[in-house]
Chain A
Amino acid sequence: AQSVAQPEDQVNVAEGNPLTVKCTYSVSGNPYLFWYVQYPNRGLQFLLKYITGDNLVKGSYGFEAEFNKSQTSFHLKKPSALVSDSALYFCAVSLQGGHRGSTLGRLYFGRGTQLTVWP
């Protein structure tokens, strides 16, 4: 079975400090990996994804993530946090070949990590 773990329910950092939101995954096959952010009363907003190639992926709002196949991790990072980064962050994985062998994709989500950046 496919699964995603976000080991921290909450991450608190001071503005200007680097932030890391952790994600590990377990899949039977080669993964595609995604990060989404959710602000209060809003839907999920795409941040970045790893498909293939360079293990370091850069995304929106200065975020980046590094795919580590040996550690089955895809941690989200940002060098300098902003108060406006405070939100709920979701890691997700899908499989090459789609859902149940169809061409339709399926995302498996972690439980989310609440990031709070204080001034």
Chain B
Amino acid sequence: ETGVTQTPRHLVMGMTNKKSLKCEQHLGHNAMYWYKQSAKKPLELMFVYSLEERVENNSVPSRFSPECPNSSHLFLHLHTLQPEDSALYLCASSHKRGGRETQYFGPGTRLLVL
């Protein structure tokens, strides 16, 4: 185990539902990330978070809304999703020291939007 946990591991939702993905890290890190992994595509960074900064990919639709209440927890709130949002959503964490720090990944949430 990497010290990063994600719940739920699998989620099926309709396009009108609202759900949230949860990520928790036990590594003492101060930066957390959401990535989207779709088949045949590179991992796509959605959001980068620390308590002081939030950096986001401007191409991420507003139906994805992150929340970072403290340095150990990160949420991804989902609403009115589309079938093309079906993917594996990966959370990662690292120390906040520029690009040299290793990011450690959770096991992911497999999302299916019907």
What residues on A are CB-neighbors of B48 within 8 Å?
Answer: 99, 104-106
**B34 at interface by CB-CB < 8 Å:** no
Our pick among B55, B90, B101, B106 for the contact of A100 (Cβ within 8 Å) is B55
Listed stretches B38-46, B68-76, B77-85; interface member? B38-46
Residues of chain A lying within 8 A (CB to CB) of residue B90: 43-44
Q: How large is the interface on B (under 10, 10 to 19, 20 to 34, 35 or more residues)?
A: 20 to 34
> Which residues of the partner chain A approach B96 to less than 8 Å between Cβ atoms?
103-105
Say whether B55 contacts A109, CB under 8 Å: no
Interface string of A92-119 (1 = CB under 8 A from B): 0011111110111111111110000000
User: With a CB–CB cut-off of 8 A, which chain A residues contact B107?
Assistant: 41-43
In the complex, what residues of A have CB within 8 A of residue B98's CB? 96-98, 103-105
Chain A residues proximal to chain B, CB less than 8 Å: 4, 32, 34, 36, 41-46, 49, 51, 90, 94-100, 102-112
* A–B complex contacts, Cβ < 8 Å, 14 sampled: A41-B107, A43-B4, A44-B90, A44-B92, A94-B100, A97-B98, A100-B55, A103-B53, A104-B96, A105-B103, A107-B43, A109-B42, A109-B43, A112-B42
